[in-house]
Amino acid sequence: MDSGPKNPAAARRATVEKIPRDADGTVQSLVRALRLLELLAEDDDGYRLVDIAERAGLSTSTTHRLLTTLEQKRFVQFDREANLWHVGVQCFAVGAAFARRRRIATLALPIMRKLRDTVGETVNLGLADQGDVVFLTQVESREMMRAMGRPGGRLPLACTAMGQAILAAMSDQDVSAYLQQYGLPRLTPNSIARPTKLHQTLAEARRAGYAVDHEENAAGLRCVAGVIHDEHRRPIAAVSIAGPTVRVTLRRVPEVGREVMAAAREITLAIGGRAPVRTAQPPDR
């Protein structure tokens, strides 16, 4: 006689309860598998087994077991000729579902193209995520010398104009919490290294309505960005122009900033977002 649960729902609950979990409720194997996917996404050239195992801090046997499971579900793929592991097509399918939900890239592209044609420089769209800005899409400049990036790339918020535009739309308390959790990584000698400097930079961005990255992300590159808000007036993304400092000069920044602000407002409206009501700034004394 079968002594198991007769209720299918009870059977499912019993199965779930048997899944081994850490003290914080996470499933260790799932956390490790997701970490492998994050590492694979960082390098288009792929990873050898021993290299990704070392990066993840796992044994090669554990890493291989996780990767083969992910391969069966098409989240990773293995190049048997080169012995390299890569991100699989199912990751794109999942990412595309997220993009469809927000629809921000699709709705922003016509506005980004118009901004590119007006300013003449490369236009980027980025989404805030876990202390970084993630590049969603790009409209390249038609100039021979132009800024280039790849969708899916990540950079610290404080090192980019897009990230600074997002941070400037946050409260000082939220910015302080960001600093405590993520710090201030330096990508170039111009990257902001002190919290007081970051707060000053964000105050300037709030006054101007746009943020400027003065070679803080890459030498010779200047970026100007405006923040994009969701339906709850929260800063979720940003649009920026990026170009060499010889073309995006300090004299051009105010003019470019106005165009970027207008594009950010237009994208906010296009996705159903609402910009917060700006209070008048007290005059300087």
What's the pLDDT score for residue 282? 41
Domain count, the chain: 2
Same domain, 227 and 141: yes
> How far apart are alpha carbons 219 and 134 in whole angstroms?
20
- pLDDT tens-place string over residues 153-197: 888 999 999 999 999 999 989 999 999 998 888 888 888 889 999
pLDDT bucket at 277, cuts 50 / 70 / 90: confident
Q: Of 140, 149, 119, 152, nearest to 224 (Cα)?
A: 119
What's the pLDDT score for residue 266? 96
Residue 54: inside a domain: yes
Name the residue range of residue 263's domain. Answer: 103-270
What's the pLDDT score for residue 232? 86
User: Among 92, 121, 137, where does a domain finish?
Assistant: 92
Same domain, 116 and 186: yes
User: Among 37, 65, 92, where does a domain finish?
Assistant: 92
User: Among 52, 73, 92, where does a domain finish?
Assistant: 92
Residue spans of alpha helices (H) in the chain: 8-17, 28-42, 49-56, 60-72, 89-102, 104-119, 161-168, 172-182, 195-208, 253-270
What's the pLDDT score for residue 209? 95
CATH number of 189's domain: 3.30.450.40
> How far apart are alpha carbons 190 and 201 in whole angstroms?
13
- pLDDT tens-place string over residues 57-101: 999 999 999 999 999 999 999 999 999 999 998 887 777 666 655
Same domain, 144 and 264: yes
Same domain, 26 and 153: no
**Cβ partners under 8 Å of residue 65, min gap 6:** none
Percent of the chain with pLDDT over 70: 83
Same domain, 150 and 53: no
Residue 72: inside a domain: yes
Same domain, 113 and 209: yes
Residue 209: inside a domain: yes
Same domain, 179 and 113: yes
Residue 223: inside a domain: yes
Q: Is the pLDDT of residue 281 over 50?
A: no
Residue 260: inside a domain: yes
pLDDT bucket at 19, cuts 50 / 70 / 90: very low
pLDDT bucket at 145, cuts 50 / 70 / 90: low
Residue 283: inside a domain: no
Residue 16: inside a domain: no
> How far apart are alpha carbons 78 and 90 in whole angstroms?
14
Same domain, 84 and 107: no
CATH number of 87's domain: 1.10.10.10
Same domain, 128 and 263: yes
Same domain, 140 and 50: no
Same domain, 34 and 73: yes
Give me the mean pLDDT over the 113-133 stretch. 93
Q: Which DSSP string corresponds to 212-271?
A: EEESSSSTTEEEEEEEEE-TTS-EEEEEEEEEETTTS-TTTHHHHHHHHHHHHHHHHHHT
Residue 30: inside a domain: yes
Same domain, 227 and 112: yes
What's the pLDDT score for residue 121? 94
- pLDDT tens-place string over residues 93-106: 777 666 655 688 88
pLDDT bucket at 17, cuts 50 / 70 / 90: very low
Q: Is the pLDDT of residue 226 over 50?
A: yes
